[in-house]
Structure 1
């Protein structure tokens, strides 16, 4: 008759078990705290002049995120004001561009604000990334894989 040998594991010493649990707890706590301690990008709320000098855009809080609208057009406008003539939705082509919301759902993401945008100049909707640097802000808009970046200047 064969007798099987059973190996019994000895439990770790009490001090060692405490140290192991402490390290696991400390690691879990530091991982959980990492996103909360991440630095948010600087605020972009306020009034911005577009790169081409055609408009002034207001960026403002709307709920927990940020939005943007055309505050004022600085170009000569047709009688009755500039309309959203290139909008893909024909029902929206009579809207005035002044006062038109062109950014929404802007949320902090790393060193930038990301959300959605609309350009009344070409009637396209795009993914927007606004990155502030002092009194300047680079605004990157992407449709599919095609992107364009412009720089706006903070006013007053």
Structure 2
């Protein structure tokens, strides 16, 4: 019995040691167009566009390419673009949305130093970008 408890305790310690690096914080997008804030939302993590760093039309940039016509008038600044992010191996996995092309995708995120690499996949087609942590 003691051996079983010791084994369970060791597995718990090694599982917590393998937790992925935190994605919490402010990240500048790879194209320099915006800043995204990653923060807890409930028991998981979410990402929201904090602000856009590009010139916007009067009244602000809208989510014009959203597949849902009812959402095309909403502001891009303040828009939640990642949700249900949970630890997955050495990274994070959840759902994402790109207001640039109006696509929803499965998101895989990994932190290495001050870089956040995101791989977004729709079916078998994937794209990877790298963002930089803001000081």
Same-fold call, TM cutoff 0.5? yes
Distance apart, 1:72 and its partner CA? 0.5
SS in 1 for 2:111: strand
Aligned equivalent of 2:47: 68
Equivalent position to 1:53, from 18, 29, 32: 32
Aligned equivalent of 1:134: 113
Distance apart, 1:134 and its partner CA? 0.5
Aligned equivalent of 2:14: 37
Q: How many residues align?
A: 133
Aligned equivalent of 1:99: 78
Equivalent position to 1:79, from 35, 55, 58: 58
Aligned equivalent of 2:88: 109
Give TM-score scaled by structure 2 length.
0.92
* Deviation beyond 3 Å, 4+ runs, structure 1: 25-29
Aligned equivalent of 2:3: 26
Q: Which structure 1 segments of 5+ residues have no match?
A: 1-21
Counterparts of 1:88 and 1:127 in 2: how far apart (Å)?
17
Two-structure CA RMSD over aligned residues (Å): 1.6
SS in 2 for 1:147: strand
Counterparts of 1:33 and 1:105 in 2: how far apart (Å)?
28
Q: 1:31 to 1:145 in 2, by over 3 A?
A: farther
Give TM-score scaled by structure 1 length.
0.80
Distance apart, 1:37 and its partner CA? 2.8
Larger CA Rg, structure 1 vs 2: 1
